[in-house]
Amino acid sequence: MAYFARRFAFFVATLWAAVTLNFLIPRLQPGDPAEAMVSRLVGRSESVDPAQVEAVRLMLGTPEGNLLDQYVHYLGAVLRGDFGISYSYFPYPVTHMIGQALPWTVVLVGVTQILSFVVGTLLGAWAAYRRNSRTDSVITLGSTFIGTLPFFWVALLLVYVFAITLRWFPERGGYGGGSSPGWNWLFISDAFQHSVLPGLALLITGPIGWIIGMRNNMVQHLGEEHTRLAVARGLPRRRIALAYGARIAILPNVTGFAIALGGLVGGTVLVETVFNYPGMGRLLLEAVSNRDYPLMQAIFLFVTIGVLVANFLADVLYGVLDPWVRRAETT
């Protein structure tokens, strides 16, 4: 229990530090969102009226007072789940915009992350099991070659081949103009067709890290003394690979997978920008471009909390899967 208690205390302390940094970083950026909004409205060539800027500040509800007062107000708002009004999408609140974008990212990135982890881990384990064979060479060299390809090049190639040339799938967007969001077959099928190319782009490059990591870790563990002792005892090769190699080698992949799942709420800015997909990544890009501090803070906070929770669960899972981790920290 001491191991799990220390992990939880570390999680709470890290969460407080992340919330504090999330408050400070946007305020250290140069520029004023109200002034930027007025400049876009009147044009860059026109002078900005200070009265208009102050009116926009009042309209947006920008925080007042010194930094300490703003921090106390921010902590209270976070505890209430109140992240304010979005500057970019006024008068909609931040929670409304995140609520619209989050399901798109969770479905697309979540499904592709799980598939990438499963496929990559299985291929890496198979390559390690057949190490120094033709199968190992094909898997490792093929994944290494694919890993060198720029992601945006893969995405644009998919768009050119399957959307522009063959016209099998839509080129961009989350759904077409002929359907409206809802739990009906027309919208679900339309959204699925729009998600095929972004999902395929993620699946082509996603498993690479899991393949290489699992293969190298498993080969290393299969060469250790306890594995050689199992071979000397005459245990079946498949049992040795699974019980002595894969079970321990998968632990670093579990940590990486948990952190990847925790970070999926931030979306993938590149793929959502290329395909104009209405997810959290594109929303974050728009928030940064427009100096939308409330929206930026909320998205960063969601991503940070997701990663911290996932890392905490990975630590707990480590302690469950490998008792030596608990004993080493206790001693």
Q: What is the CATH number of the domain that holds 153?
A: 1.10.3720.10
Instruction: State the average pLDDT over residues 241-252.
Output: 67
* Total domains, the chain: 1
> Does the pLDDT of residue 62 top 70, yes or no?
no
- Which of the four pLDDT bands, split at 50, 70 and 90, describes residue 97? confident
Report yes or no: 292 and 88 within 8 Å, Cβ to Cβ.
yes
326 is a domain residue: yes
Residue in this structure with the two tokens 């291929």, named with its chain if needed: 123
- Which of the four pLDDT bands, split at 50, 70 and 90, describes residue 3? low
62 is a domain residue: no
Number of other CB atoms surrounding residue 32 within 10 Å: 15
Distances (CA, A) of 257 to 110, 118, 183, 199: 11, 10, 30, 17
Helix (H, G, I), strand (E, B) or coil at 8: helix
Domain of residue 284, residue span: 94-330
32 is a domain residue: no
Instruction: State the average pLDDT over residues 316-329.
Output: 61
Q: Average pLDDT over the chain, rounded to whole?
A: 75
39 is a domain residue: no
> Does the pLDDT of residue 84 top 60, yes or no?
yes
Lowest-pLDDT choice from 163-167, 223-227, 301-305: 223-227
172 is a domain residue: yes
> Does the pLDDT of residue 74 top 70, yes or no?
yes
At a CB cut-off of 8 Å and minimum separation 6, what does 47 contact?
A: none
Question: For the chain, what percentages of helix, strand and coil (3-state, to nearest 5) are there?
Answer: 75, 0, 20
